[in-house]
Amino acid sequence: MSATTSCLTAHRSASLFSALMADEAKSIARGLQRRDPDLLDRLIEQYQYRLFRYLVYITGNKERAEDFFQETWIRVLERGHQYDGKSKFEAWLFAIARHLVIDWQRSKKPQSLDTLTDPEQESPLQLANETEPSPLHQVLSRESEENVQASLSQIPAIYREVLVLRFQEELQIEEMAGVLSVPLSTVKSRLYRGLQALRGALQGGAV
């Protein structure tokens, strides 16, 4: 009896939580339609750490991540009317950030978007030279005394990205597929390879 009651309570709490999240997303969408400056200020504050961390992971460079951070919010202001509040705001935000990085990479080194996102390509979305200590490695080394954390920077950016989205941002695989604009199967295969690479890096082996 008590198990049933607790199960029902948990179910109700989950429903309530998802309803609140949906309301929040709708309210963000309405605010973005109006280009509400106070809402944007609040969102910048609220998501600063998560967005910056994601950008550091995918660019491998803290200074560049700062530039992309600002550009991302400018895009949010300009394209805010395109967010309809049906999905999580952070998934939309990360998608904007990611595409800014891809556009920048494409302008730097002309190649198609498919090449960058094709999981079968060797080390796609490689923004940092993996053979030398990367700026990300330096950032992590500075900010963490544990070598184990710095070794994470050895992982190719494309795998770091999925690991961050899944295990730090706790996005669902479907949401990740939206952010990355790839099929679910690709997200899963990147996650498995990323997990393997992460384990290898932490054990001090080759990635």
Partner 1 sequence: MNQEIHARAERLIAQERVEGIPPADHDWLSTHLQECSRCAEHARHTEHALRSLRTMAIAVPSGLASRTQFRVRLRAQELREREPQRRALWLACAVSWAFGIASAPYVWRLFQWFGERTGVPKLVWELGFGLWWTIPALFFVVVVLMEKLRQGNESDWTRQSR
Binding of residue 196 to partner 1 (CB under 8 A) = yes
Q: What is the largest CA-CA distance in the chain?
A: 64
Identify which range of 6-14, 15-23, 123-131, 162-170 contacts partner 1 by CB under 8 A. 162-170
The piece of 3-11, 39-47, 104-112, 127-135 that touches partner 1 (CB under 8 A) is 39-47
Q: Is 157 in the site for partner 1 (CB under 8 A)?
A: no
CA distance 71 to 91: 17
What residues between 59 and 78 interact with partner 1 by CB under 8 A?
62, 66, 69-70, 73-78
Q: How far apart are the first and last CA of the chain?
A: 51
CB 52, min distance to partner 1, A: 5
Which of 127, 139, 157, 171 binds partner 1 (CB under 8 A)? It is 139
Q: Is 95 exposed, middle or buried (0-12, 13-18, 19+ CB in 10 A)?
A: middle
Q: Does residue 28 bind partner 1 (CB under 8 A)? A: no
Q: What type of residue is 199?
A: R
Q: Determine, following the binding rule CB under 8 A, whether residue 37 of this chain makes contact with partner 1.
A: yes
Q: Torsion over CA of 143, 147, 151 and 153, rounded to 10 degrees?
A: 10
3-32: b (≥16 Cβ within 10 Å) or e: eeeeeeeeeeeeeeeeeeeeeebeebbebb
Contacts to partner 1 by CB under 8 A: 35, 37, 40-41, 44-45, 48-49, 52-53, 56, 62, 66, 69-70, 73-79, 82-84, 86-87, 92, 95-96, 99, 139-140, 143-144, 146, 148-149, 152, 163-164, 166-168, 173-175, 177-178, 181, 188, 191-192, 195-196, 198-199, 201-203
